[in-house]
Structure 1
């Protein structure tokens, strides 16, 4: 069992299998840190439309409710962290911070039946993280 799990999540995550895998990795005293990175592109678009960072966070939290509900049902302790920046480098930096035992990602590209390659974020994190990385297809 892992104590400190870094879960990099995209807002529109549809892969429920990743939640089941996280449940298998947790035990007593485990905590999952859910990290959602708001990219510079998303921030620029929000400025043009007059949407503030707090509104972006609220919208994203709403779309991630199924994740929170699952963790609550499974009695998995978690915290949510919104970060501004580049998703690839932000997740790699967090993974290599020494605060986490494993990184868990859903392979967004694999959610589509006809795609079997890793997405760019999954690929970079897997290549550069100094801790184990679990990519759930």
Structure 2
């Protein structure tokens, strides 16, 4: 089992299979870091509508509540981190810090059964991360 798992999470995640796969990867002493990147585009759009970063984070946390509930039910220790920047670059940089054993991603493109290709974030992380990457479709 993996001790430190980096879970690159998008707030629109509909793929519940990724949570089941994470549950299979954890063991005693494991911790999952839920890593959500606020892109500059999202930040600019939220500011234009009068929503500032703290409010944006609160809204994202609300949309992730089902994930927190699942982890709590499964007794999976987790922490949530928000960062600003480019999701592709930020995830690769975080994965390559040396603090993690594996990166887990939900392939958003695969959530739509008609699409079989990797999304751009999944593709870049898989290509550039120095640790194993699990992409769940």
TM-score range normalised by the length of the shorter chain: over 0.9
Q: Which residue of structure 2 lines up, in the alignment, with residue 80 of structure 1?
A: 80
- How many aligned residue pairs are there? 137
Q: Which residue of structure 2 lines up, in the alignment, with residue 126 of structure 1?
A: 126
Provide the secondary structure at the position in 2 that maps to 1:6.
strand
Q: Which residue of structure 2 lines up, in the alignment, with residue 34 of structure 1?
A: 34
Distance 1:113 1:93 in 2: 30
Distance 2:35 2:101 in 1: 15
Provide the secondary structure at the position in 1 that maps to 2:104.
strand
Q: Which residue of structure 1 lines up, in the alignment, with residue 4 of structure 2?
A: 4
Q: TM-score, normalization: structure 2?
A: 0.99
Distance 2:7 2:54 in 1: 21
Q: Which residue of structure 1 lines up, in the alignment, with residue 54 of structure 2?
A: 54
Q: Which runs of 5+ in 1 are unaligned?
A: none
Q: TM-score, normalization: structure 1?
A: 0.99
Q: State the 4+ residue runs in structure 1 displaced beyond 2 angstroms.
A: none
Cα drift, residue 54 of structure 1? 0.5
Q: State the Cα deviation string for residues 27-65 of structure 1 (Å, max 9, x = none).
A: 000000000100000011111111110100000000000
